Amino acid sequence: MRRPGGLASIFEEKMTVVGTLRQVVGRTLQSPACGCWMSALPVRFLGTSPRQIPEDASFHCASFSEADQPRVLITGGLGQLGVGLANFLRKRFGKDNVILSDIRKPPDHVFRSGPFIYSDILDYKNLREIVVNNRITWLLHYSALLSAVGEANVSLARAVNITGFHNVLDVAAEHNLRLFVPSTIGAFGPTSPRNPTPDLCVQRPRTIYGVSKVHAELMGEYYYYRYGLDFRCLRYPGIISADSQPGGGTTDYAVQIFHDAVKNGKFECSLKPSTRLPMMYIDDCLRATLEVMEAPAEALSLRTYNVTAMSFSPEELAQELLKHVPEFQITYNVDAVRQAIADSWPMNFDDSNARKDWGWKHDFDLPELVTTMLNSHGSDTRVAQAN
């Protein structure tokens, strides 16, 4: 807000801003983690969206007492991971402390399993109202278009993955939330080292999905250094789950193969037999997410970590499946868009920093994954007959 006082005072004000910015930039470049000193700054001059950052805002690392249970909001809750994540977090923090949200109507079992509300991340006021009315302290932001579907609808992917994320980021900063955003192996590209891919290296993805995720990683880290926002981010590999289907990803074949193997005994794969990608079973993914959210701030040397559990190709997965379903057949009908995406992604992911800093350790390797996935497809299947 501008004070009255004519041109002279505007000039004075600008000079103060320039001076303050010089100090801030100096300190930002030197200053490590906490960022609590930011509370002294005239933030109204610094944010790009003054509507979203009040004059008297003070940004601290955590706004809730650590003894309290967090009040959690999950956006994009009806995607592949949201419902499982809500159930997992509810076991830990209590049913009513975890709110699932989406723009779609939830199925009955989801609606009955705990709080569900409408939230549209493209509507800043709607998001803010939810955060305020429900006293949210943790926001886990899962709304996004995935890699293959993003290429088919770039403008929607840009709106949801980038514009929507800006709203989330500003609401999180304004209300001192701990913000989790999933990133992905898709945040790397053909010029990144692919075997293995470390946390810090060249990131030049060639999909709108990847570009939006690099953007989220950088903006989140910027808000952390700049405003002390407690931003935490994991780069997920392909996530494999039995109960929920992914929508429009390049790694989706590794989920679909189980459905088709159990139902029909055969599967047509959209990637070449030797296409190696990092993967993880959903239980490991949910646990990694909670662990990084609960990690003490001083343990985190990074704000964005690679995490992985295993790495395999379609032919290796098919070999493992054959041990349980001897009549299983895989054929290949390569989708050029998905193949080009997969060929630009990491083959193996280096997650040693996550293991060192906050003790990340996966439980499920390839044999364990295949057994668990087949078992969760029920006992009246070909799998049971094969066993």
189 touches ligand AKB (CB under 6 A): no
Nearer to ligand AKB, 227 or 258 (CB): 258
Count of helix runs (H) and strand runs (E) in the chain: 15, 12
- CA 38 – CA 228 distance, rounded (Å): 7
Binding ligand AKB (rule: CB under 6 A), the pick from 186, 189, 205, 314 is 186
List 117's β-bridge partners, or say none.
101
- DSSP of 129-162, one letter per residue? HHHHHTT--EEEE-----HHHHHH-HHHHHIIII
- CA 24 – CA 88 distance, rounded (Å): 40
Nearer to ligand AKB, 101 or 275 (CB): 275
| Cα 299 to Cα 60, 231, 343, 361, distances in angstroms | 17, 14, 34, 16
Q: Are strands 329-332 and 277-281 parallel, antiparallel or unpaired?
A: unpaired
Nearer to ligand AKB, 42 or 247 (CB): 247
Catalytic residue, candidates 209, 223, 224, 253: 209
209 is catalytic: yes
- CA 293 – CA 178 distance, rounded (Å): 8
Binding ligand AKB (rule: CB under 6 A), the pick from 250, 289, 311, 344 is 250
- CA 190 – CA 344 distance, rounded (Å): 4
Min CB(311)–ligand AKB separation in Å: 12
238 touches ligand AKB (CB under 6 A): yes
Helical residues (DSSP H) of the chain, grouped into ranges: 6-30, 82-93, 108-113, 124-133, 147-152, 154-158, 164-174, 208-227, 253-264, 282-294, 314-322, 336-343, 352-358, 366-375, 382-386
Q: Which stretch binds ligand AKB (CB under 6 A): 7-15, 25-33, 40-48, 244-252?
A: 244-252
249 touches ligand AKB (CB under 6 A): yes
306 touches ligand AKB (CB under 6 A): no
77 touches ligand AKB (CB under 6 A): no
147 touches ligand AKB (CB under 6 A): yes
76 touches ligand AKB (CB under 6 A): no
Q: Which residues contact 14 (CB under 8 A, 6 or more apart)?
A: none
146 touches ligand AKB (CB under 6 A): yes
Residues binding ligand AKB: number (CB under 6 A): 11
185 touches ligand AKB (CB under 6 A): yes
Min CB(185)–ligand AKB separation in Å: 5
Min CB(101)–ligand AKB separation in Å: 21
Binding ligand AKB (rule: CB under 6 A), the pick from 176, 251, 289, 306 is 251
Vertex 235 angle, CA 146 and 80, to 5°: 40
Q: Which stretch binds ligand AKB (CB under 6 A): 85-93, 101-109, 243-251, 295-303?
A: 243-251
Write out the residues near ligand AKB by the rule CB under 6 A.
146-147, 184-186, 209, 238, 246, 249-251
Q: Which residues are catalytic?
A: 209
